[in-house]
Amino acid sequence: MSIVSNYDVIIIGAGAAGLFCAIEAGKRKKSVLLIEHEEKVGKKILISGGGRCNFTNLYASSENYISQNPHFCKSALARYTQHDFIELIEKHNIAYHEKKLGQLFCDSASKQIVNMLLVECEKVGVDIKVDCSVKSVEKKNNFVVKTNLGDFESGAVVIASGGLSIPKMGATSFGYKIAEQFGIKLTKTKPALVPLLLSKEDLQKFKNLSGVSIDTVVSNNEVSFRENILFTHKGLSGPAILQISSYLKDEEELKIDLIPDRDLSEIKNSTEKIELKTYLKNFFAERFTSVLSENYLKSKPLYQYNEKETEVVKNLLKNFTLNAIGDEGYEKAEVTLGGVDTDELSSKTMMAKKAVGLFFIGEVVDVTGWLGGYNFQWAWSSGHAAATSL
Ligand code: FDA
């Protein structure tokens, strides 16, 4: 097939990063073709944040990202910040609120974010093609992108095809394959922000706890998160577990402080006759205290606990340990850890050092944010960085 059209830039993947990059490139008078293989754009934005899109975080900084090179994300995050994105949201009169820990959500629906991005795309004349599958990307003098809707030529190509999480939302390994085609290294990928699986034995103990949530501090050898954990019928989820899942090594133990603001020292001098398991109902759901007393603690009246025994109870609750046997995989992971090796890209422009005119942005890059709006902020910031240097 002969070339159908020429563009300054072709962006592949119309998720958060691709849409935003298209807008910023369009603002800079570039002709932009945005290609999406699904039937509509921004599917993950639509389902994000429980349908309310946690579009950024007030406190986003490089500390909230995981990457082989922790400094890589600094430049893009500094040049297009959470405050810049908030300004855009406000310009479009989208009402929002802070849920907790700086996490900003739409008051109404994620659809408002997609609509805003589409309005901005239209303003600057971005050409969007959905249901468009890319067959190949080749570099001659220019790039030639062959698709089911024709062949297109451009001076630059931006890969914004995301990671591997949630294949049914359109996730593919396309970006990694293009990287390999151009001799660009990848770091190992792995599901992240993902619920964890527990062994049969643990599940047997916790079988009645599905749906129980507890305020905790969850740690591994590297980091700690103060958030809730949630028991599921397969293992553990909830914000603290999702956060630690991005850091947890194979077979590494999870340490859970079940009583973050207490040390139970009150027990050792207690004259109370109530049983420990009854006392613990002050802090935990009854279903959980039953599991503790059936499997971990011998409950007796509080006044009978001496110092040593109090220490044993305290230790159990402050250093509760579990071993996950795996995770729920890309089907359930919010993001993909790893991806295009940041050593291969310019942190200022997101362009591949080995392929002039080829850019990688968003989740396909080895930059993974914490839970809480950080991943979208990376999509906006990296999309902006590429657009300003096209
Ligand atoms: P993204 O995955 O958004 O977009 C990639 C696009 O490329 C998709 O539209 C895909 O169909 C398309 N594509 C793939 N292969 C292609 C090909 N071969 N040809 C053409 N197109 C192709 N983050 C956050 O900050 N706040 C939140 O509230 C949430 N909530 C959330 C909920 C759930 C359930 C998930 C799964 C994820 C989140 N996230 C999140 C993470 C966030 O959605 C994610 O990090 C960003 O969407 C990444 O943006 P990208 O544009 O890089 O990829």
Ligand 1 within 6 A of CB of 49: yes
pLDDT score of 265: 84
Q: How far is 188 from 182, CA to CA, in rounded Å? A: 18
The string of pLDDT tens digits covering residues 200-212 is 999 999 999 999 9
Ligand 1 contacts CB of residue 166 (under 6 A)? yes
Residue 369 neighbours by CB under 8 Å, 6+ apart: 60, 64, 65, 66, 335, 375, 377, 378
CA of 211 to the centre of ligand 1 (A): 27
Rg of the Cα trace of the chain?
Answer: 24
- The pLDDT confidence band at residue 1, using thresholds 50, 70 and 90, is low
The answer to whether 96 touches 89, Cβ cutoff 8 Å, is yes
Could you give the CA distance from residue 12 to residue 9 in angstroms, rounded to a whole number?
10
> In the predicted model, is pLDDT for residue 4 greater than 80?
no
* Digit-coded pLDDT (tens) for 236-293: 999 999 999 999 999 999 999 999 999 888 888 888 899 999 999 999 999 999 999 9
**338 within 8 A of 188, measured Cβ to Cβ:** yes
- Residue range 139-143: average pLDDT? 94
Among 10, 111, 161, 331, say which to mutate for ligand 1: greatest number of ligand atoms within 8 Å of CB.
Answer: 161
Instruction: Give the chain's mean pLDDT.
Output: 96
| C-alpha 42 – ligand 1 centre gap (Å) | 7
pLDDT tens digits along 353-386:
999 999 999 999 999 999 999 999 999 999 999 9
- Mean pLDDT confidence for 172-195: 98
pLDDT at residue 267 in the model: 87
Ligand 1: does its nearest atom lie under 6 Å from the Cβ of 363?
yes
Instruction: Report the pLDDT value the prediction gives residue 42, as an integer from 0 to 100.
Output: 98
How far CA 87 is from CA of 20, 42, 48, 53, 373, in Å, comes to 14, 20, 20, 16, 16
Task: Locate all alpha helices (DSSP H) within 40-92, ordered by sequence.
Answer: 43-47, 74-79, 82-91
Of all protein residues, the one whose alpha carbon is nearest to atom 9 of ligand 1 is 15
The DSSP bridge partners found for residue 226 are: 217
Mutate to test the pocket of ligand 1, among 12, 48, 133, 350 (most ligand atoms within 8 A of CB): 48
Model-level pTM? 0.97
Q: Is 143 exposed, middle or buried (0-12, 13-18, 19+ CB in 10 A)?
A: buried
**Spatial CA neighbour of 162 closest among 383, 386, 357:** 383
Residue 52 CB–ligand 1 contact under 6 Å: no
The atom number, within ligand 1, closest to the CA of 382 reads 52
299-310 tens-digit pLDDT? 899 999 988 999
Please give the pLDDT value at position 73: 98
Which has the minimum average pLDDT: 69-83, 170-184, 284-298?
284-298
Given a cut of 60, is residue 157 above it in pLDDT? yes
**Residue 160: CB within 6 Å of ligand 1?**
yes
Residue 366 CB–ligand 1 contact under 6 Å: no
Q: How many CB atoms lie within 10 A of CB 220?
A: 16
What would the two tokens of residue 10 be?
């072709």
Write out pLDDT tens, residues 11-35: 999 999 999 999 999 999 999 999 9
Residue 337 has pLDDT above 70, yes or no: yes
Contact 46, 106 (CB under 8 A): no
What SS3 state is found at 81?
A: coil
C-alpha–C-alpha distance, residues 229 and 312, integer Å: 23
pLDDT at 2: 67
372 close to 58: Cβ distance less than 8 angstroms: no
